[in-house]
Amino acid sequence: MATSLTPEEFHSQIVLNYTDVVGEKVGGKVLSFSDEWFAAAENLIKPKEAIRDATRFVHAGAWYDGWETRRHNVEEADWVTFKLGVSSAKLIGCEVDTAFFSGNHAPFISVEAVQVLDDASIEGLDESAWETVIQKSKCFASQKHFFVRDSSTNKNYTHARLRMYPDGGIARFRLYGQVIPIHPQVKGSILDLASVNNGGVAIKVSDQHFGVAGNLLLPGRGHDMSDGWETTRSRQPGHVDWAIIRLGAKTHIKEVVIDTAHFRGNFPQKINFKAINVEEDKVPSFDSAEWVELVGDSKTSADKEHSFKIANDGVFSHVMLTIIPDGGVKRVRVFGEIA
């Protein structure tokens, strides 16, 4: 069986160190499924928590915010195949949420993965090509389950498959892994090394009451305030909020972009931006003098990309955005050359 963790353990060990590589917000997609009679498979990778409206009924029956298949499956399991939203990833663990599925939840699940060159080759793929990532594990009604691989390998995958035995419903599915990007081999190429697609991860944050810090690293400029990072209103003089990002590779930083798209009455009054070159377990506290200032306290404005050219040619592994005193930021871009 896969190792089961508590919510606190899973958050500290997995969520803060890895990326949900099948999530809709990073570009993950449902490619195929065995059945979705009662509720659509694409709901599994929606970014928001599942909801329930017990008064709502549709043609298939009661409405559910998740994936639900017909009863009495004659096969061993129902399944959904996903294309990862990143180039590829080493898979570490998953979250399976059966929220509001009570009496119709999936009794067991497993997760498999494969590395293929194109989506078309998934169809008709020999079953022996799929490798088990999370072994068959028991699930319960209306609750979150957190599973971690018993043993990991250095292999990276491009596609995943969630199986539930024999049928039933699952509200949300999160599959966490270490992103393995495909970087250009041309010397001097400028990349956004904070981007989730290039391996950036938000590893520490002061507050994320309205929007999580991981949203800072997503592609595009988003669609509203819900897919940015936003903190609570502070009342204490001198308060600041901050987010620390592990870059996808050690970097010579050339430019930093702070985007406040959609934050019009709640953007930060000022920001500053610092960086450091350390091993993962040596990242200092947000107020440490070890951080190197790349952008001093600078005014921001509503709904705008703020660009800062960086003169420091040092090598950096981590960066920290500080917002003064609080507010919301949509994206952080850290453009540079891989050291």
> Which architecture, in CATH terms, is 191-338?
Sandwich (2.60)
**313: amino acid identity, one letter:** D
Identify the pLDDT of residue 114.
96
Residue 221: C-alpha distances to residues 30, 35, 47, 125, 333 (Å): 23, 34, 16, 36, 11
Residue 284, token pair as written in the block? 């200092």
Ranges in the chain annotated CATH 2.60.120.260: 3-179, 191-338
Scan for tokens 């209306």, then name that residue.
Answer: 142
Per-residue tens of pLDDT for the chain, all 339 residues: 689 999 999 999 999 999 999 999 999 999 999 999 999 999 999 999 999 999 999 998 999 999 999 999 999 999 999 999 999 999 999 999 999 999 999 999 999 999 998 888 888 899 999 999 999 999 999 999 999 998 767 899 999 999 999 999 999 999 999 999 987 777 889 999 999 999 999 999 999 999 999 999 999 999 999 999 999 999 999 999 999 999 999 999 999 999 999 999 999 999 999 999 999 899 999 999 999 999 999 999 999 999 999 999 999 999 999 999 999 999 999 999 999
- The CATH class that applies to domain 3-179 reads mainly beta
Identify the pLDDT of residue 29.
97
Q: Are 85 and 29 in contact (CB under 8 A)?
A: yes
User: What is the separation of C-alpha 159 from the centre of its chain, rounded to a whole number of angstroms?
Assistant: 16
Integer Cα distance of 327 and 307 in angstroms: 19
* pLDDT tens by residue, 252-283: 999 999 999 999 999 999 999 999 999 989 99
CA neighbours closer than 13 Å in the CB half-sphere of residue 34: 21
